[in-house]
Structure 1
Amino acid sequence: MKTAKYLKTLACCVVLLAVALPGKAQLIPNTYINVDWQMGVPLDNGLADKTSGWGMNFEGGYFVTPAITVGPFLSYQTNLESIDRQTLDLGDGAALTTNQKHALFQLPFGVASRYNWLTDSIFQPYVGMKLGASYAELSSYYYVVRQYTETWGFYLSPEVGVSIFPRPDYRMGIHVALYYSYATNEGDVLVYRVNNLNNFGLRVGISF
Structure 2
Amino acid sequence: MKTIKYISIRVAALIALTLVFALPTKAQMTDNGYAHIDWQYNFPLNNHFADKSSGWGMSFEGGYYVTDHFALGAFLAYHSNHEYFGRQTLPIGESGSLNTDQQHTLFQLPFGLAGRYTFDRGGAFQPYFALKAGPQYAKMKSAFNVYEASKNTWGFYVSPEIGLSIYPWAYGPGLHIAAYYSYGTNKGDLFTYSVDGLSNFGLRLGVAF
Pair 1:180 & 2:181 matched: yes
Letter in 1 for 2:203: L
Deviation at 1:170, TM superposition (A): 1.8
- 1:36 pairs, out of 10, 22, 38, with 38
CA contact (8 A) 1:90 1:191 kept: no
Give the whole-Å Cα distance in 2 for the aligned partners of 1:68 and 1:17: 29
Percent of aligned positions that are identical: 51
Kindly tell me: are residues 27 and 17 of structure 1, through their superposed partners in 2, closer, same or farther at Cα, counting changes over 3 Å?
farther
Give the secondary structure class of the aligned counterpart of 1:15: helix
Deviation at 1:89, TM superposition (A): 3.4
CA contact (8 A) 1:135 1:152 kept: yes
Letter in 1 for 2:85: I
Give the alignment's Cα RMSD to 1 decimal: 2.0
CA contact (8 A) 2:36 2:207 kept: yes
CA contact (8 A) 1:41 1:52 kept: yes
Map residues 141-152 of structure 1 onto 2, 5 A cutoff: 141-152=143-154
Give the whole-Å Cα distance in 2 for the aligned partners of 1:187 and 1:126: 34
Deviation at 1:95, TM superposition (A): 1.4
Give the secondary structure class of the aligned counterpart of 2:121: coil
Give the whole-Å Cα distance in 1 for the aligned partners of 2:19 and 2:140: 34
Give the whole-Å Cα distance in 2 for the aligned partners of 1:47 and 1:71: 32
Instruction: Tell me the equivalent position of 2:201.
Output: 200
Number of equivalences: 197
Letter in 2 for 1:56: M
CA contact (8 A) 1:62 1:69 kept: yes
Deviation at 1:45, TM superposition (A): 0.6
- 2:63 pairs, out of 61, 64, 89, with 61
CA contact (8 A) 1:15 1:35 kept: no
Give the secondary structure class of the aligned counterpart of 1:89: strand
Instruction: Tell me the equivalent position of 2:108.
Output: 106
TM-score by length of 2: 0.88
Give the whole-Å Cα distance in 2 for the aligned partners of 1:139 and 1:106: 12
Deviation at 1:40, TM superposition (A): 0.7
- 1:162 pairs, out of 146, 161, 164, with 164
Give the whole-Å Cα distance in 2 for the aligned partners of 1:88 and 1:197: 23
CA contact (8 A) 2:91 2:191 kept: no
Pair 1:86 & 2:97 matched: no
Instruction: Tell me the equivalent position of 2:123.
Output: 121
Structure 2 alignment gaps of length 5 or more: 1-9
CA contact (8 A) 1:163 1:174 kept: yes
Give the whole-Å Cα distance in 2 for the aligned partners of 1:107 and 1:17: 28
- 2:139 pairs, out of 137, 140, 151, with 137
Q: Which stretch of structure 1 is more off in the superposition, 21-30 or 192-201?
A: 21-30
Deviation at 1:16, TM superposition (A): 6.9
Deviation at 1:91, TM superposition (A): 6.4
Give the secondary structure class of the aligned counterpart of 1:47: coil
